Each structure stands twice: as structure tokens, then as C-alpha cells.
Amino acid sequence: PATARFYSDNIVSHYENPRNVGSLDKNDVSVGTGLVGAPACGDVMKLQIKVGDDGRIIESKFKTFGCGSAIASSSVATEWVKGKTVDEVLSIKNSDIAAHLKLPPVKLHCSMLAEDAIRASVADWKAKQAAKSSEEGETA
Ligand code: FES
Ligand code: FES
């Protein structure tokens, strides 16, 4: 069908078989949660990372209430963050995700949601670490 040719194999596989759907415990201090919305369409994406003691992301999950391209973008994002440090993942660009999935121009904001969600999850994780170390400072 025409639509199958329009989308790349990558996006079809991430549509049909999104990776890492689910949730991590948002109260776990090693988990960062990013919740972002797309003003253009109102779609919402939650992306979570679990960071190991060495500062590398060991697990990532997402739940996306949005279009197929947003779900595929989340799926790619959760695959790409694994094994990287919290600072390395900040260089993942929505344009890289869009290129990987061969998203058409009208769907670029869907991949932007994934970039924003990665950044938000890292910011949440960093805020938790800062809160943790100030608590430790007070009790020391
Ligand atoms: Fe899934 Fe590349 S095909 S991340
Ligand atoms: Fe809004 Fe895709 S149409 S995230």
C-alpha cells in the first residue's frame, strides 16, 4: 500500500513493535521522569530513565499518549539513551530521531517531544541527586 512505502522500515517496526513501553517507579531516587506535551497537538509523552551508580542509563521506559510518530520517536529515544551517561543523552537531537525514522516535515514536532522528554527526565534525575546530597549534607 502507498502508506507502507511512505514510511521507512524503521518507523514501521517502531510502530508495530515499540520498544520499552511501560513505567519505572518515579519515587526511586535513581529514576528520572520527564513528562512533556506538544503544544501543536496536545499529545503527551512520559519518558523515564534509570541511572546506575556509574552515571550511565541502565533502563528506560515510556508511555506516550499521542500519534504513531510520537510513539515511534519515544521507542527510538528509549533505545538510544541506554548505556549512555546523563550528559551524553543531552546531545540526542530531535533531528537525529526524525532522520532515523524518516519522519515527514509535518511530523517533526513528534520527534521534538522525544528530545524534550529526554531532557526533562535528566533534569528530574539531577534535581533528585541534588536533593539527596543536600539531605546527606544536613545529616552529616
Ligand atoms: Fe530502532 Fe534504530 S531501528 S533505534
Ligand atoms: Fe502531535 Fe505527533 S501529531 S506528537
Q: Report ipTM (2 d.p.).
A: 0.89
Instruction: Give CA separation, 86 vs 52, 57, 59, 124, 135, in Å.
Output: 10, 7, 12, 11, 22
- Report the percent of the chain where pLDDT is more than 70: 90
Catalytic residues: 41, 110
CATH for the stretch 2-127 = 3.90.1010.10
**78 near 47, Cβ under 8 Å?**
yes
Cα(129) to ligand 1 centroid in Å equals 30
Q: Measured in angstroms, how far is the CA atom of residue 110 from the centroid of ligand 2?
A: 5
Looking at every residue in the chain, the average pLDDT score rounds to 91
What is the per-residue pLDDT across 8-56, written as a single tens digit (0 to 9) for each?
Answer: 556 668 888 999 999 999 999 999 999 999 888 999 999 999 999 999 9
Q: Is 92 in a helix, a strand, or coil?
A: coil
